[in-house]
Amino acid sequence: MSRNLPNLLSALRIALTPFVALAIVQGRSALALVLLGIAGLSDLADGWLARRMGVSSRLGAYLDPVSDKLLLVTVYFCEGWAGYLPAWLVAMVFGRDLFILAAAGWAMLFTRLRHFPPSIWGKLSTLVQIAAALDVLADQGRVLDRGVVLASVAVTTAWSGLHYLSRGVNALRTGRIDGGADRG
CATH number of the domain where residue 22 is located: 1.20.120
Tell me what pLDDT residue 184 has: 38
What is the per-residue pLDDT for 182?
38
Does 180 map to a domain? no
What whole-number distance in Å separates Cα of residue 28 and Cα of residue 82?
11
- Residue 83 domain-assigned? yes
Q: Give the model's pLDDT for residue 181.
A: 45
Determine, yes or no, domain membership for 117: yes
Residue 94: per-residue pLDDT: 95
Query: pLDDT (tens digit, 9 = 90+) per residue, 120-152?
Result: 999 899 889 988 998 888 876 565 678 888 999
pLDDT under 70 in the chain at which residues?
1, 140-144, 176-184
Q: Which of 145, 44, 153 is nearest to 95 (CA)?
A: 153
Number of domains in the chain: 1
> Residue 184: inside a domain, yes or no?
no
Angle at 22 between CA 11 and CA 81, to 5 degrees: 115
Q: For residues 78 and 48, give the distance between their C-alpha atoms in angstroms, rounded to a whole number.
A: 29
Range of the domain at 152: 2-174
Q: Is there a domain that residue 179 lies in?
A: no
Continuous segment of H or E residues that includes residue 100: helix 87-110
The answer as to whether 183 is a domain residue is: no
How far is 79 from 90, CA to CA, in rounded Å? 8
Q: What is the pLDDT of residue 120?
A: 92
- Whether residue 123 is contained in a domain is answered as yes
Residue 146 CA to residue 135 CA, distance in Å, equals 9
